Amino acid sequence: MTEPTSGAQEDKQSKEAEPWMIFTVAVVLILVGIGFGYYKFNNEIKASYLKENGVAVKGIVLEESESGKSGSSKTHYFDLEYQWEGTSYNHQISSGFNLYDVGEEVELLVDPEHPEEAMGEEDMSHGSHSWSFIILALGGFIFWLGLKKVKERKTSTS
């Protein structure tokens, strides 16, 4: 026979997150961490390829815009145009700093086989393995907490 639970115990149980919610948050964080890692890895591969096989061209800054709050969290976007074998292409560089003025020339490395793919020096360092590891670790920790909660529930119902 089960004992009736008091109102305080019911309130505590209703405020606790369900294990499926904990696991969902953990899986989302793990997937985001993997995505960040993939983005950085892919960017490094592309940068390495262009350093070896790319052709240097001059791009002209057509437009500058910014987003974000004022101060250090502001991101600057620079829309560039470059020419490859008589065809114009566009490329955008983003930076936390106001690096260029409209009309300024910027060196880009262009993939001769796919001239729509270009990278500037600033593009080559985008992404961070650190953020990937931090988010993965956080997701793993939350997953562990979910496992712990499931184990606690099993022992309390037994």
Nearest-10 Cα torsion for 16, 18, 23, 28: -80
pLDDT of 5 over the 60 cut? no
Q: Which two tokens stand for residue 55?
A: 């052709």
The stretch 135-157 carries a mean pLDDT of 89
Note whether 90 and 80 are within 8 A (CB). Answer: yes
pTM of model > 0.75: no
Which residues partner with 90 through β-bridges? Answer: 81
Predicted local distance difference test score (pLDDT) of residue 98? 81
- C-alpha separations of 158 from 10, 18, 99, 113, 146 in Å: 18, 18, 64, 66, 19
